């Protein structure tokens, strides 16, 4: 968004009545789908400062930088965490299955996926979050960050229960990229950033903040989407070897 705004501001300054236009823009009333960007672009095209080909290029570059911006428009936490994130991982790792009492007599919703591999039965918990400007109070889709941003962010993975699963998969979403971390349950529980007692009385539950100033500490657990299946097996082997 910053790059698009900078480019449009540069073109606006070339208008003959730039100051007057900026004043009109400040008092502009926006009603979907007519907003300030539609107003700026249509004005620039009407004055030939922005050609149709230039517009197409501007649009294509913006889309390329914001491939996953639509995920910041999902308001309901369950809609993002359960429906999108779990569905997304199921597409990447088709072997993941939904747990049930038939597969695990002790199952009562404690974890999200079940994977049978190498004669092992692996319980997997998924946590997902989005990188947004920590210092902004704008809607999510406005304060969504790109991976190149230097702004502060804080992705809080909540209701983490290490005793109830074998492997954790964390999904982090930026405007332009989705990143994945796979950890053994014990690696989360013993991590220095993991804090217990998120809610009073909830024994064995905690949270972990993945932030701009500590994300590099988790580099060893980050994997490409194509390597998630093997990453789950490796994390499970680390778990049972402890």
Per-domain boundaries in the chain: 2-65, 69-241
- Give residue-wise pLDDT tens across range 195-211: 986 555 556 789 999 99
Integer Cα distance of 238 and 242 in angstroms: 7
Integer Cα distance of 38 and 61 in angstroms: 17
Chain mean pLDDT for the chain: 92
Q: Locate tokens 């999510």: which residue?
A: 140
- Asked if omega into 65 is within 30° of 0 (cis), the reply is no
For residue 177, give the DSSP letter. Answer: -
Contact 71, 130 (CB under 8 A): yes
Please give the pLDDT value at position 200: 56
Question: Of 136 and 2, which is predicted with more confidence?
Answer: 136
Axis-axis angle for helices 2-12, 52-65 (nearest 10): 160
Mean pLDDT along residues 157-169? 95
Nearest to 51 by CA among 4, 78, 11, 83: 11
pLDDT at position 146 over 60: yes
For residue 63, give the DSSP letter. Answer: H
Instruction: Indicate the burial class of 62 (C-beta count within 10 angstroms; 0-12, 13-18, 19 or more).
Output: middle
* Confidence grade of residue 4 (pLDDT, cut at 50, 70, 90): confident
Half-sphere exposure of 17 toward its Cβ, with a 13 Å CA cutoff? Answer: 7
Residues counted in the chain: 242
Please give the pLDDT value at position 33: 78
Query: Burial letters for 12-28: b for 16+ Cβ neighbours within 10 Å, e otherwise?
Result: beebeeeeebeeeeeee
- The SS3 call for residue 160 is strand
Mean pLDDT along residues 69-84? 90
Count other Cβ atoms within 10 Å, centred on residue 35: 12
Task: Mention every residue, 6+ apart, whose C-beta is less than 8 A from residue 43.
Answer: 15, 21
Instruction: Indicate the burial class of 149 (C-beta count within 10 angstroms; 0-12, 13-18, 19 or more).
Output: middle
Integer Cα distance of 120 and 105 in angstroms: 16
């Amino acid at each position: 968004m910053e790059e698009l705004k900078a480019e449009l501001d540069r073109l606006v300054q070339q208008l003959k009545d730039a100051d007057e236009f900026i004043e009109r823009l400040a008092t502009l009333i926006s009603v979907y789908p007519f907003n300030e960007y539609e107003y700026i672009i249509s004005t620039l095209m009407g004055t030939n400062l922005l050609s149709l080909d230039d517009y197409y290029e501007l649009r294509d570059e913006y889309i390329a930088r914001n491939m996953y911006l639509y995920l910041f428009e999902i308001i309901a936490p369950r809609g993002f965490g359960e429906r999108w994130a779990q569905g997304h991982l199921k597409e990447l790792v088709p072997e993941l299955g939904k747990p049930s009492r038939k597969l695990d007599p002790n199952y009562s919703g404690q974890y999200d996926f079940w994977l049978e591999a190498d004669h092992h039965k692996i319980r997997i918990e998924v946590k997902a979050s989005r990188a947004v400007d920590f210092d902004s109070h704008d809607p999510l889709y406005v304060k969504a960050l790109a991976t190149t941003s230097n702004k502060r962010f804080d992705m809080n993975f909540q209701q983490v229960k290490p005793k109830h699963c074998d492997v954790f998969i964390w999904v982090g979403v930026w405007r332009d990229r989705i990143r994945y971390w796979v950890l053994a349950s014990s690696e989360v529980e013993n991590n220095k950033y993991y804090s217990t007692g998120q809610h009073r009385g909830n024994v064995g539950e905690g949270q972990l903040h993945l932030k701009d100033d500590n994300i590099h500490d988790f580099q060893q657990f980050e994997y490409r989407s194509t390597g998630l299946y093997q990453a789950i097996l490796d994390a499970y082997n680390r778990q049972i070897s402890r």
